[in-house]
Protein backbone atom coordinates (compact mmCIF):
# COMPACT_ATOMS: atom_id res chain seq x y z
CA UNK A 1 0.00 0.00 0.00
CA UNK A 2 1.27 3.45 -0.92
CA UNK A 3 2.55 5.50 2.02
CA UNK A 4 0.76 8.75 2.80
CA UNK A 5 2.70 12.00 2.44
CA UNK A 6 4.51 12.89 5.67
CA UNK A 7 7.62 14.86 6.57
CA UNK A 8 9.60 11.62 6.78
CA UNK A 9 8.49 10.60 3.29
CA UNK A 10 9.24 14.07 1.90
CA UNK A 11 12.75 14.07 3.38
CA UNK A 12 13.34 10.57 2.01
CA UNK A 13 12.24 11.61 -1.49
CA UNK A 14 14.26 14.84 -1.53
CA UNK A 15 17.49 13.36 -0.11
CA UNK A 16 17.40 10.36 -2.43
CA UNK A 17 16.60 12.76 -5.29
CA UNK A 18 19.71 14.84 -4.61
CA UNK A 19 21.81 11.69 -4.66
CA UNK A 20 20.25 10.47 -7.91
CA UNK A 21 20.49 13.82 -9.70
CA UNK A 22 24.15 14.23 -8.78
CA UNK A 23 25.30 10.73 -9.75
CA UNK A 24 23.23 10.52 -12.95
CA UNK A 25 24.52 13.87 -14.20
CA UNK A 26 28.14 12.77 -13.85
CA UNK A 27 27.71 9.18 -14.98
CA UNK A 28 24.55 7.13 -14.61
CA UNK A 29 23.04 4.10 -12.94
CA UNK A 30 21.63 5.88 -9.90
CA UNK A 31 18.08 5.73 -11.23
CA UNK A 32 17.81 2.41 -9.41
CA UNK A 33 17.74 4.52 -6.23
CA UNK A 34 14.62 6.31 -7.51
CA UNK A 35 12.80 3.15 -8.52
CA UNK A 36 13.74 1.39 -5.28
CA UNK A 37 12.60 4.41 -3.23
CA UNK A 38 9.23 4.51 -4.98
CA UNK A 39 8.74 0.76 -4.53
CA UNK A 40 9.71 0.97 -0.86
CA UNK A 41 7.01 3.61 -0.47
CA UNK A 42 4.44 1.19 -1.86
CA UNK A 43 4.35 1.66 -5.64
CA UNK A 44 4.20 -1.35 -7.97
CA UNK A 45 7.13 -1.61 -10.38
CA UNK A 46 5.23 -0.28 -13.41
CA UNK A 47 4.17 2.86 -11.49
CA UNK A 48 7.68 3.33 -10.08
CA UNK A 49 9.10 3.05 -13.60
CA UNK A 50 6.61 5.62 -14.90
CA UNK A 51 6.86 8.04 -11.95
CA UNK A 52 10.64 8.00 -12.29
CA UNK A 53 10.30 9.89 -15.60
CA UNK A 54 9.27 13.08 -13.78
CA UNK A 55 12.46 13.57 -11.70
CA UNK A 56 14.57 12.38 -14.64
CA UNK A 57 13.11 15.09 -16.87
CA UNK A 58 13.71 17.91 -14.39
CA UNK A 59 17.21 16.70 -13.52
CA UNK A 60 18.22 16.63 -17.19
CA UNK A 61 16.62 20.05 -17.69
CA UNK A 62 18.62 21.52 -14.81
CA UNK A 63 21.90 19.96 -15.93
CA UNK A 64 21.40 20.88 -19.61
CA UNK A 65 20.58 24.50 -18.74
CA UNK A 66 23.74 24.76 -16.69
CA UNK A 67 25.90 23.12 -19.38
CA UNK A 68 24.39 25.49 -21.97
CA UNK A 69 24.95 28.53 -19.76
CA UNK A 70 28.59 27.54 -19.39
CA UNK A 71 28.91 27.01 -23.18
CA UNK A 72 29.63 23.29 -22.84
CA UNK A 73 26.63 22.02 -24.82
CA UNK A 74 26.41 21.62 -28.60
CA UNK A 75 22.63 21.81 -29.11
CA UNK A 76 22.77 21.00 -32.84
CA UNK A 77 24.74 17.82 -32.20
CA UNK A 78 22.43 16.90 -29.34
CA UNK A 79 19.31 17.26 -31.52
CA UNK A 80 20.79 15.01 -34.21
CA UNK A 81 21.32 12.24 -31.67
CA UNK A 82 17.98 12.85 -29.95
CA UNK A 83 15.92 12.01 -33.07
CA UNK A 84 16.68 8.24 -33.11
CA UNK A 85 16.50 8.23 -29.31
CA UNK A 86 12.93 9.59 -29.47
CA UNK A 87 11.86 6.82 -31.85
CA UNK A 88 13.42 4.19 -29.60
CA UNK A 89 11.91 5.79 -26.51
CA UNK A 90 8.37 5.51 -27.85
CA UNK A 91 8.85 1.87 -28.83
CA UNK A 92 10.47 0.92 -25.52
CA UNK A 93 7.80 2.54 -23.36
CA UNK A 94 5.04 0.72 -25.27
CA UNK A 95 6.78 -2.56 -24.45
CA UNK A 96 7.30 -1.56 -20.80
CA UNK A 97 3.62 -0.91 -20.04
CA UNK A 98 2.57 -4.17 -21.71
CA UNK A 99 4.98 -6.77 -20.31
CA UNK A 100 4.70 -8.58 -16.98
CA UNK A 101 6.56 -7.12 -13.98
CA UNK A 102 8.62 -10.31 -13.71
CA UNK A 103 10.16 -9.64 -17.12
CA UNK A 104 11.06 -6.09 -16.08
CA UNK A 105 12.65 -7.37 -12.85
CA UNK A 106 14.74 -9.88 -14.80
CA UNK A 107 15.87 -7.15 -17.21
CA UNK A 108 16.56 -4.77 -14.33
CA UNK A 109 18.63 -7.38 -12.50
CA UNK A 110 20.68 -8.12 -15.63
CA UNK A 111 21.38 -4.42 -16.19
CA UNK A 112 22.43 -3.93 -12.57
CA UNK A 113 24.91 -6.80 -12.86
CA UNK A 114 26.25 -5.27 -16.09
CA UNK A 115 26.69 -1.89 -14.38
CA UNK A 116 28.64 -3.53 -11.55
CA UNK A 117 30.94 -5.19 -14.09
CA UNK A 118 31.36 -1.90 -15.96
CA UNK A 119 32.36 -0.05 -12.80
CA UNK A 120 34.72 -2.82 -11.75
CA UNK A 121 36.73 -2.63 -14.99
CA UNK A 122 36.46 1.06 -15.88
CA UNK A 123 38.77 3.75 -14.55
CA UNK A 124 38.88 7.54 -14.66
CA UNK A 125 41.95 7.33 -16.88
CA UNK A 126 40.12 5.16 -19.40
CA UNK A 127 37.15 7.53 -19.55
CA UNK A 128 39.16 10.73 -20.10
CA UNK A 129 39.64 10.68 -23.86
CA UNK A 130 40.32 13.40 -26.37
CA UNK A 131 37.42 14.79 -28.36
CA UNK A 132 39.59 15.39 -31.44
CA UNK A 133 38.97 18.14 -33.98
CA UNK A 134 35.19 18.31 -34.41
CA UNK A 135 32.56 15.67 -33.83
CA UNK A 136 30.87 14.02 -36.82
CA UNK A 137 27.84 11.78 -36.40
CA UNK A 138 28.25 8.48 -38.26
CA UNK A 139 25.36 6.18 -39.32
CA UNK A 140 26.33 3.67 -36.61
CA UNK A 141 25.90 6.40 -33.99
CA UNK A 142 22.26 6.89 -35.01
CA UNK A 143 21.73 3.15 -34.65
CA UNK A 144 23.27 3.12 -31.16
CA UNK A 145 21.07 5.99 -30.03
CA UNK A 146 17.99 4.22 -31.40
CA UNK A 147 18.82 1.25 -29.18
CA UNK A 148 19.63 3.54 -26.25
CA UNK A 149 16.27 5.26 -26.70
CA UNK A 150 14.45 1.93 -26.74
CA UNK A 151 16.11 0.84 -23.52
CA UNK A 152 15.42 4.23 -21.93
CA UNK A 153 11.75 3.91 -22.76
CA UNK A 154 11.70 0.41 -21.34
CA UNK A 155 13.41 0.72 -17.94
CA UNK A 156 15.95 3.65 -18.05
CA UNK A 157 18.24 2.34 -15.26
CA UNK A 158 21.89 2.54 -16.35
CA UNK A 159 21.15 4.44 -19.57
CA UNK A 160 23.77 7.05 -18.68
CA UNK A 161 26.52 4.46 -18.96
CA UNK A 162 25.21 3.41 -22.37
CA UNK A 163 25.28 6.97 -23.67
CA UNK A 164 28.77 7.53 -22.28
CA UNK A 165 29.99 4.28 -23.85
CA UNK A 166 28.94 5.53 -27.31
CA UNK A 167 29.97 9.17 -26.93
CA UNK A 168 33.34 8.45 -25.32
CA UNK A 169 34.47 5.32 -27.14
CA UNK A 170 32.78 5.60 -30.56
CA UNK A 171 32.39 9.35 -31.03
CA UNK A 172 35.54 10.16 -29.00
CA UNK A 173 34.13 13.09 -27.05
CA UNK A 174 35.84 14.38 -23.94
CA UNK A 175 34.09 13.51 -20.67
CA UNK A 176 32.49 16.94 -20.12
CA UNK A 177 31.12 17.17 -23.66
CA UNK A 178 29.84 13.60 -23.39
CA UNK A 179 27.99 14.38 -20.16
CA UNK A 180 26.46 17.53 -21.63
CA UNK A 181 25.25 15.63 -24.71
CA UNK A 182 23.99 12.77 -22.55
CA UNK A 183 21.80 15.01 -20.40
CA UNK A 184 20.47 16.94 -23.39
CA UNK A 185 19.58 13.84 -25.46
CA UNK A 186 17.77 12.30 -22.48
CA UNK A 187 16.00 15.61 -21.80
CA UNK A 188 14.62 15.78 -25.35
CA UNK A 189 13.74 12.10 -25.80
CA UNK A 190 12.49 10.94 -22.40
CA UNK A 191 9.22 12.99 -22.26
CA UNK A 192 7.84 10.88 -25.12
CA UNK A 193 7.97 7.74 -22.98
CA UNK A 194 6.63 9.67 -19.98
CA UNK A 195 3.46 10.51 -21.97
CA UNK A 196 2.93 6.81 -22.66
CA UNK A 197 3.14 5.99 -18.94
CA UNK A 198 0.81 8.90 -18.14
CA UNK A 199 -1.79 7.65 -20.59
CA UNK A 200 -1.68 4.24 -18.87
CA UNK A 201 -2.09 5.80 -15.40
CA UNK A 202 1.36 4.67 -14.26
CA UNK A 203 2.61 8.02 -12.88
CA UNK A 204 2.30 9.36 -9.31
CA UNK A 205 2.65 13.11 -9.79
CA UNK A 206 2.98 14.08 -6.11
CA UNK A 207 5.82 11.68 -5.32
CA UNK A 208 7.45 12.35 -8.68
CA UNK A 209 7.53 16.12 -8.26
CA UNK A 210 8.86 15.98 -4.68
CA UNK A 211 11.61 13.60 -5.77
CA UNK A 212 12.27 15.89 -8.75
CA UNK A 213 13.09 18.78 -6.40
CA UNK A 214 16.00 16.78 -5.04
CA UNK A 215 17.02 15.69 -8.54
CA UNK A 216 17.19 19.29 -9.72
CA UNK A 217 19.48 20.29 -6.86
CA UNK A 218 21.69 17.23 -7.32
CA UNK A 219 21.96 17.77 -11.08
CA UNK A 220 22.79 21.44 -10.61
CA UNK A 221 25.56 20.62 -8.13
CA UNK A 222 27.01 17.96 -10.45
CA UNK A 223 26.98 20.14 -13.58
CA UNK A 224 28.33 23.09 -11.58
CA UNK A 225 31.32 21.19 -10.22
CA UNK A 226 31.71 19.01 -13.34
CA UNK A 227 33.62 15.75 -13.08
CA UNK A 228 36.21 16.13 -10.39
CA UNK A 229 34.25 16.01 -7.11
CA UNK A 230 33.78 12.80 -5.19
CA UNK A 231 34.12 10.25 -8.01
CA UNK A 232 35.48 7.45 -5.81
CA UNK A 233 32.84 8.06 -3.15
CA UNK A 234 30.05 8.09 -5.76
CA UNK A 235 31.26 4.84 -7.27
CA UNK A 236 31.38 3.13 -3.87
CA UNK A 237 27.95 4.47 -2.96
CA UNK A 238 26.46 3.28 -6.23
CA UNK A 239 27.97 -0.20 -5.81
CA UNK A 240 26.37 -0.49 -2.36
CA UNK A 241 22.98 0.64 -3.67
CA UNK A 242 23.11 -1.78 -6.62
CA UNK A 243 24.05 -4.73 -4.41
CA UNK A 244 21.19 -3.94 -2.03
CA UNK A 245 18.79 -3.60 -4.95
CA UNK A 246 19.89 -6.92 -6.44
CA UNK A 247 19.41 -8.58 -3.06
CA UNK A 248 15.92 -7.07 -2.87
CA UNK A 249 15.00 -8.27 -6.38
CA UNK A 250 16.28 -11.77 -5.52
CA UNK A 251 14.24 -11.81 -2.30
CA UNK A 252 17.30 -12.07 -0.05
CA UNK A 253 16.32 -8.89 1.80
CA UNK A 254 13.29 -6.59 1.80
CA UNK A 255 14.16 -2.92 1.33
CA UNK A 256 10.48 -2.12 1.76
CA UNK A 257 10.44 -3.61 5.26
CA UNK A 258 13.77 -1.98 6.16
CA UNK A 259 12.65 1.51 5.13
CA UNK A 260 9.19 1.02 6.57
CA UNK A 261 10.72 0.48 9.99
CA UNK A 262 12.51 3.84 9.63
CA UNK A 263 9.57 5.96 8.41
Which pLDDT belongs to residue 189? 94
The band of 159, judged by pLDDT with boundaries at 50, 70 and 90, is confident
Contacts with 28 (C-beta within 8 Å, 6 or more apart), sequence order: 158, 159, 160, 161, 162, 163, 164, 182
Helix-strand-coil percent breakdown of the chain, rounded to 5?
A: 80, 0, 20
3-state secondary structure 26-54: HCCCCHHHHHHHHHHCCCCHHHHHHHCHH
What is the C-alpha separation between 259 and 6, in angstroms, rounded? 14
Which pLDDT belongs to residue 200? 92
Which pLDDT belongs to residue 48? 92
Kindly report the average pLDDT of the chain as a whole number: 82
Q: What is the pTM of this model?
A: 0.77
Which pLDDT belongs to residue 219? 84
Which pLDDT belongs to residue 80? 94
Identify which of 156, 202, 197 has the alpha carbon closest to the alpha carbon of residue 44.
202
Which pLDDT belongs to residue 170? 82
Q: Is the pLDDT assigned to residue 13 strictly greater than 60?
A: yes
Question: DSSP state, 100?
Answer: -
Distance from the first to the final alpha carbon of the chain: 14
Which pLDDT belongs to residue 250? 82
Q: Is 38 exposed, middle or buried (0-12, 13-18, 19+ CB in 10 A)?
A: buried
- List, for residues 180-222, the tens digit of each pLDDT value: 899 999 999 989 999 999 999 999 999 999 999 999 998 888 7
Mean pLDDT along residues 50-54 = 93
Q: Is the pLDDT assigned to residue 232 strictly greater than 90?
A: no
Q: Which one has a higher pLDDT value, 11 or 255?
A: 11
Mean pLDDT along residues 105-118 = 76
Which pLDDT belongs to residue 38? 93
Mean pLDDT along residues 44-58 = 91
Q: Is the pLDDT assigned to residue 223 strictly greater than 70?
A: yes
Least confident of 110-119, 143-152, 155-164, 230-239: 230-239
3-class SS at 128? coil
Which pLDDT belongs to residue 130? 41
Which pLDDT belongs to residue 71? 86
Amino acid sequence: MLHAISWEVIVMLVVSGIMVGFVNTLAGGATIISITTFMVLGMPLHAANGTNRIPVFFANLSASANFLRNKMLDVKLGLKLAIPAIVGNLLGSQVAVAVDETAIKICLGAVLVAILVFMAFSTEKRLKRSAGQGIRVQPIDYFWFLLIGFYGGYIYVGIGYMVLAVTLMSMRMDIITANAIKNFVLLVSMPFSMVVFMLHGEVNYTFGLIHAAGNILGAWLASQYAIGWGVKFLRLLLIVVIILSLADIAGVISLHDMIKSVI
